[in-house]
């Protein structure tokens, strides 16, 4: 396998090149946390001059390894460097407010009927939820869904990627988090429960639709790889509860393998966003050529310790994580945080060439600022490899 190559000598760059850095890379995700406190006017005074998540990361002196510094958190869970394009299909978006909540309704008119999805950005929790899936009765809407997927492709905007990478500058790398697997496509459009029923009830039609999405995603991978992207991510929440091994093998493995091959041919890396339980899929994912998992959860939120995950995968497989919402709740004092980080990094020091200290998988908006600072200080204290 040809490894992606990234120039420079930052800790993150060394990890991407599978070289041992002088210190652990530390690239937390403050997307929801920052948006919540900015929007609610509760940022700590020392962040008064920070206008973005990137500003906060820089203020703390941390690494940038982010697939959401460029995202609009009120309108999507990921994306912003590419946009869907519908050939011969009428698409419309309507937005309105209910109190402080933002509602977004997207409709697509096909010859077989109109498909509509509705999202709500819950202001009090700074969280985007899906109130209505695009397809809520796949038996009656199957022809419309098929037409929708035949029409949908994506267009990558390299100038956006270049602009954000220039803003990140020498602090790290902007990840193009624009992709999602065929199975995740069904989860997003039908919901996980109806996805399972659909795969069982109509396997041949399901295979047709999965292939349509796979083709569109691989085209986007090509656009990004040839457009200068050096790290991209498939935003799949790769939890074995929703991506059990037999589903992974039948519905997503070919996509991951081809996407990884395309990335490597152009000197890029492919990661997958992970949530929940990973143990059952780790070895197969690594064998497909994927470069790593982002935000691996460990007990009690996940089912594998980080050093186990690194051991189960091969010796070039990257894993990020280490600080979950659970740590912000259970570690009560600065001393507790220091003890936790010291113990964690001691365990993971043998894997410093392919581990990135980060969120598993997000920093909750309830996290106290003093704990965020304590984690930074503990990393500075114990992060030498």
pLDDT, residue 2, reads 41
Residues 52-71 have a mean pLDDT of: 96
**Burial of 361: CB neighbours in 10 Å, binned 0-12, 13-18, 19+:** buried
Flag whether pLDDT at 330 surpasses 60.
yes
Flag whether pLDDT at 220 surpasses 80.
yes
Domain residue spans of the chain: 11-85+153-382
Residues 328-336 have a mean pLDDT of: 97
> How does pLDDT run across 133-181, given as a tens digit for each residue?
999 999 999 999 999 999 999 999 999 999 999 999 888 999 999 999 9
Q: 11-85+153-382 sits in which CATH class?
A: alpha beta
Q: What is the DSSP string of 317-380?
A: -EEEEEE-HHHHHH--SHHHHHHHHHHHHHHHGGGTTSEEEEESS---TT--HHHHHHHHHHHH
Flag whether pLDDT at 132 surpasses 80.
yes
Residues 40-68 have a mean pLDDT of: 96
> Which residues are within 8 A (CB) of 207 and not within 5 positions of it... i.e. 6 or more apart?
none
Flag whether pLDDT at 318 surpasses 50.
yes
Question: What mean pLDDT value characterizes the chain?
Answer: 95
| 278: its two tokens | 């990973």
Residues 227-248 have a mean pLDDT of: 96
> How does pLDDT run across 247-283, given as a tens digit for each residue?
999 999 999 999 999 999 999 999 999 989 999 999 9
Flag whether pLDDT at 123 surpasses 70.
yes
Task: Give the separation between CA 380 and CA 383, rounded to whole angstroms.
Answer: 6
Residues 221-246 have a mean pLDDT of: 97
Task: Give the sign of the dihedral formed by CA 364, CA 370, CA 373, CA 378.
Answer: negative
pLDDT, residue 257, reads 98
**Burial of 349: CB neighbours in 10 Å, binned 0-12, 13-18, 19+:** middle
Residues 187-213 have a mean pLDDT of: 97
Residues 179-198 have a mean pLDDT of: 98
Q: Closest Cα to residue 53, out of 128, 231, 66?
A: 66
pLDDT, residue 326, reads 95
Flag whether pLDDT at 4 surpasses 50.
no
pLDDT, residue 361, reads 79
Please, which pLDDT band fits residue 3 given cuts at 50, 70 and 90?
A: very low
pLDDT, residue 275, reads 85
pLDDT, residue 54, reads 96
pTM: 0.95
CB 179 within 8 A of CB 104: no
Task: Give the separation between CA 251 and CA 247, rounded to whole angstroms.
Answer: 6
């Amino acid at each position: 396998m040809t490894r992606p190559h990234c120039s420079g000598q930052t800790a993150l760059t060394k990890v991407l090149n599978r070289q041992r850095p002088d210190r652990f890379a530390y690239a937390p995700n403050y997307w929801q946390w920052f948006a919540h406190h900015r929007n609610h006017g509760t940022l700590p005074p020392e962040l008064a001059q920070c206008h973005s998540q990137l500003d906060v990361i820089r203020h703390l002196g941390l690494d940038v390894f982010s697939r959401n510094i460029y995202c609009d958190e009120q309108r999507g869970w990921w994306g912003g460097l590419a946009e869907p394009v519908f050939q011969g299909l009428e698409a419309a978006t309507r937005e309105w407010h209910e109190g402080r909540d933002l509602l977004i309704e997207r409709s697509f008119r096909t010859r077989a009927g109109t498909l509509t999805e509705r999202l709500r950005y819950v202001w009090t929790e700074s969280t985007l939820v899906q109130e209505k899936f695009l397809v809520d009765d796949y038996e009656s809407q199957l022809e419309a869904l098929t037409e929708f997927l035949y029409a949908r492709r994506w267009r990558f905007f390299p100038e956006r990627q270049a602009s954000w990478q220039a803003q990140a500058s020498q602090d790290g790398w902007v990840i193009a988090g624009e992709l999602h697997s065929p199975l995740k496509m069904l989860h997003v459009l039908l919901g996980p429960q109806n996805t399972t029923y659909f795969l069982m009830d109509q396997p041949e039609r399901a295979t047709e639709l999965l292939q349509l999405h796979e083709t569109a995603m691989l085209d986007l991978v090509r656009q990004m790889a040839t457009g200068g992207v050096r790290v991209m991510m498939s935003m799949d929440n790769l939890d074995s509860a929703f991506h059990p091994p037999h589903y992974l093998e039948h519905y997503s493995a070919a996509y991951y393998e081809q996407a990884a091959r395309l990335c490597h041919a152009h000197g890029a890396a492919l990661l997958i966003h992970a949530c929940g339980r990973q143990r059952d899929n780790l070895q197969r994912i690594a064998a497909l050529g994927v470069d790593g998992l982002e935000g691996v959860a460990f007990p009690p939120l996940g089912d594998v310790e980080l050093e186990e995950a690194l051991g189960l995968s091969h010796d070039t497989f990257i894993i990020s994580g280490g600080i979950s919402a659970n740590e912000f709740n259970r570690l009560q004092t600065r001393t507790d945080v220091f003890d936790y980080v010291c113990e964690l990094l001691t365990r993971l020091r043998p894997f410093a060439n392919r581990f990135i200290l980060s969120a598993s998988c997000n920093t909750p908006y309830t996290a106290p600022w003093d704990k965020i600072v304590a984690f930074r200080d503990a990393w500075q204290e114990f992060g030498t490899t």
